[in-house]
Chain A
């Protein structure tokens, strides 16, 4: 068994190298092979600001149970070269139990790495690669990792064959030979890691990232029209949609900017087609005015914000949970709308599907706050459950009764929406304040009753138990939202195994704020701690200001781009629990 009791029998492996060294390919292959061999895991990539080339790190964590957060330290770091290591060494935590494998031809181990006290082993990746026709150092490195962790040879071979199919027999043979050399070299090194292979999972598992998961949730929920403008880290969600919508008879349109993309989806939804866009902070900011239009005109739309470091262009390739304020409060006027957050990578399916169904049912815009960490980390997960949410818009089909009032003050605030083409139901959707029939009105009475209507339909809706994930029933609660939930969940599991019981509350529905639900979730709790990844404690302030928590609340928060890690949170939560 491994040397680390604080990292529940998992293995964390990093491969680093300059762009083109193939560490991302090797990382993907490692994840896929481990999946085939029955593991769970995560694969996150870190890359520099360069568009192509530059430095890259493939960070893989494997375990026998679903992995919900990055590990505290890497068990193995294998460096094909040390290109720009100073820039991202901080993303690669190491300790005295780590094994660092370095190619002596790339010079001495840099001080930022050597100073961590890890064991260093030498492996002449480049020289070995030269002994194989067309051999590449990344495949030697992959072989070495496979050898050290005991990855079954057949699955690795299988994955190599599938990955390299397109590159031809010669490339595959070269990779096989290089891989074998790596395995052999590993035999000469000592490494004591957990055995991940004898307790192989047999359940159906998927490899998916949060962006794909959000896309799948969207189409399960009925989305068939997407308009969007490319932006990191949301672009891969859009690319997934572009291909997969075609298969479903839907389509994606590349808009000229986000002002256009939000208006295009409002137009498509007004025409009866459930519609979505995905963006990141800068794009969400541009959409604010038109999201208000969707509120006033009561047009369902879904916006997935894959958050990155802000403000302004910020850190496009790294994660942060700092768009909560603009998502909640970025619209002018009194503009109630839905804001949701997925609690994990696989929950991106559920939450996005639910968001589509809520938007359609409540004729409201819904913002889904994913982030780079959820969106771009590939995970091996149990197959997400099928859920029945599909779009359920109340429509006024054809004229059966006279006097259709599009914005009629029906009980519950939801009024039937006529779809263009339905005879006798013509109306004008309007962002101007209007009366029940949709005619522009600046009368005080109409303004109040329409504001009441739009608030009531959201506030009065029964969101059921899906509104939050609540686990455990300690007298101390930790509240996390979005991607922070993973690291908190792991931290609480570790504390639990030491006999400290905590309650976890991770809300999926952030807005409208449900104070009654928060009262229930925190019933019997003496104190709660909010954990989030932003500089200004945005959720903490929101919880205190809008959700009336029934107990004192504290906060642990810090900005990105470094992800929260369970070890860090164990220390913080312990400190807080004793304070």
Chain B
């Protein structure tokens, strides 16, 4: 539930960008994700002060400082938890979480599961580059088993984690995949993610051109999913299980009620609690 504040007329994507120059490498996919997020916010015309962008640590997690909304750049892996506390206590705000595959699926994996299950009205944008970019090229949970690196010579030999399937199984209410190379398409996904109540998970394939030069080839492989969004969880499961990871679009939209706190109705004062102790 985004109890939408009155839309502001005349806002453009640029109004959501800060003056800060990103630390990202030239050509990093994350620039286009920044553009897509700001386009989505402009499309929704949300006043920047009513938007909070929360992140952990990683190249992708640098996002909040590059935006003109409120932001919180916290510790590695805990962004979803921090955002949960913010959104539950301030349901009037639009809260986005931005981060990477290492931040969200490895160190923050437990929070990811429980955020999907809890279904708080958040939009979680993961820039998946299948690598730890910030720490200079180690394998993440989504890295291919044979990807060679200094820390895992010859590859990890481990089967990659499938975040979309996990999100579905854990209860996320909206699941989509975008590609940073298509910022307009990604912006449309983010708009729908924000508008859909509950926990919305958007995986954005966002190449790390420094440590995963092979990902330059992604633009030739990605394709719009050949099917429409489904509300049928069984069909979504089959679709996500058999998907090769490059189908783009909204893949699942559920109808679960988001988790909210009952903050209204309790109008007593602390002094009124004291009678329970009196002898």
Which positions in A face B, CB cutoff 8 Å?
32, 35-36, 204-208, 212, 216, 219-220, 224-225, 227, 244-251, 253, 255-257, 259-261, 263-273, 275, 289-290, 292-293, 297, 380, 383, 386, 418, 420-432, 438-440
Q: What is the CB-to-nearest-CB distance from B274 to chain A, in angstroms, rounded to a whole number? A: 7
Binds A, one of B204-212, B214-222, B238-246, B256-264: B256-264
Q: How many A-B residue pairs have CB under 8 A?
A: 184
Q: Which residues of B contact A255 (CB under 8 A)?
A: 81, 114
The answer to whether B110 and A257 touch across the interface, beta carbons within 8 angstroms, is yes
Q: A207-B277, A267-B83, A290-B78 are in contact. Are A247 and B68 (CB under 8 A)?
A: no
Q: Mark B262-279, 1 if CB is under 8 A from A, else 0.
A: 111111111111100111
The answer to whether A248 and B73 touch across the interface, beta carbons within 8 angstroms, is no
Q: Which residues of B contact A207 (CB under 8 A)?
A: 277, 279
The answer to whether B268 and A205 touch across the interface, beta carbons within 8 angstroms, is no
Q: What is the CB-to-nearest-CB distance from B37 to chain A, in angstroms, rounded to a whole number? A: 14
Q: Which residues of A contact B189 (CB under 8 A)?
A: none
Minimal Cβ-Cβ distance residue in B for A290:
B75
Minimal Cβ-Cβ distance residue in A for B70:
A420
The answer to whether A421 and B82 touch across the interface, beta carbons within 8 angstroms, is no
The answer to whether B81 and A260 touch across the interface, beta carbons within 8 angstroms, is yes
Q: Which residues of B contact A219 (CB under 8 A)?
A: 270, 273
Which of A271, A290, A383, A432 has the largest count of B CB atoms less than 10 A from its CB? A271
Say yes or no for B93: interface residue by CB 8 A criterion.
yes
The 8 Å CB contact of A420, one of B81, B86, B261, B264, is B86
Q: Which residues of A contact B75 (CB under 8 A)?
A: 263, 289-290, 292-293, 431
The answer to whether A421 and B49 touch across the interface, beta carbons within 8 angstroms, is yes
Task: Give A205 to B279 CA distance when docked, in angstroms.
Answer: 6
Task: Give A260 to B79 CA distance when docked, in angstroms.
Answer: 9
Task: Give A375 to B89 CA distance when docked, in angstroms.
Answer: 28
Q: What is the CB-to-nearest-CB distance from B87 to chain A, in angstroms, rounded to a whole number? A: 8
Say yes or no for B177: interface residue by CB 8 A criterion.
no
Q: Which residues of B contact A267 (CB under 8 A)?
A: 54, 72, 81-87, 89
The answer to whether A275 and B269 touch across the interface, beta carbons within 8 angstroms, is no
The answer to whether A208 and B277 touch across the interface, beta carbons within 8 angstroms, is yes
Which of A36, A260, A266, A380 has the largest count of B CB atoms less than 10 A from its CB? A260
Say yes or no for B50: interface residue by CB 8 A criterion.
yes
Q: Which residues of B contact A386 (CB under 8 A)?
A: 271
The answer to whether A253 and B69 touch across the interface, beta carbons within 8 angstroms, is no
Minimal Cβ-Cβ distance residue in B for A208:
B277
Sampled A-B contacts (11; CB under 8 Å): A206-B277, A246-B266, A248-B270, A250-B263, A273-B89, A421-B90, A423-B49, A426-B69, A428-B64, A428-B72, A430-B72
Q: Mark B97-117, 1 if CB is under 8 A from A, else 0.
A: 000000000000011011000
Q: Mark B47-63, 1 if CB is under 8 A from A, else 0.
A: 11110101000000010
Say yes or no for B151: interface residue by CB 8 A criterion.
no
Q: Which residues of B contact A206 (CB under 8 A)?
A: 274, 277-279
Q: Which residues of A contact B197 (CB under 8 A)?
A: none
Q: What is the CB-to-nearest-CB distance from B76 to chain A, in angstroms, rounded to a whole number? A: 8
The 8 Å CB contact of A271, one of B69, B71, B86, is B86
Q: What is the CB-to-nearest-CB distance from A174 to chain B, in angstroms, rounded to a whole number? A: 26
The answer to whether A293 and B262 touch across the interface, beta carbons within 8 angstroms, is no
Q: Which residues of B contact A293 (CB under 8 A)?
A: 74-75
The answer to whether A440 and B65 touch across the interface, beta carbons within 8 angstroms, is yes
Q: Which residues of A contact B110 (CB under 8 A)?
A: 256-257, 259-260
Q: What is the CB-to-nearest-CB distance from B116 to chain A, in angstroms, rounded to a whole number? A: 11
Say yes or no for B88: interface residue by CB 8 A criterion.
yes
The answer to whether A427 and B267 touch across the interface, beta carbons within 8 angstroms, is no
Q: What is the CB-to-nearest-CB distance from A222 to chain B, in angstroms, rounded to a whole number? A: 9
Say yes or no for B20: interface residue by CB 8 A criterion.
yes
The answer to whether A260 and B114 touch across the interface, beta carbons within 8 angstroms, is yes
Say yes or no for B92: interface residue by CB 8 A criterion.
yes
Q: Which residues of A contact B64 (CB under 8 A)?
A: 428
Task: Give A290 to B111 CA distance when docked, in angstroms.
Answer: 15
The answer to whether B73 and A251 touch across the interface, beta carbons within 8 angstroms, is no
The answer to whether B89 and A271 touch across the interface, beta carbons within 8 angstroms, is yes
Task: Give A422 to B49 CA distance when docked, in angstroms.
Answer: 6
Minimal Cβ-Cβ distance residue in A for B50:
A421
The answer to whether A439 and B65 touch across the interface, beta carbons within 8 angstroms, is yes
Other 5 A-B pairs with CB < 8 A, given A225-B88, A253-B88, A426-B71? A245-B266, A246-B266, A260-B84, A431-B74, A438-B65
Task: Give A204 to B277 CA distance when docked, in angstroms.
Answer: 10
Q: A216-B273, A259-B78, A259-B81 are in contact. Are A425 and B49 (CB under 8 A)?
A: yes
The answer to whether B52 and A420 touch across the interface, beta carbons within 8 angstroms, is yes
Q: A289-B75, A290-B75, A421-B90 are in contact. Are A263 and B270 (CB under 8 A)?
A: no
Task: Give A228 to B54 CA distance when docked, in angstroms.
Answer: 20
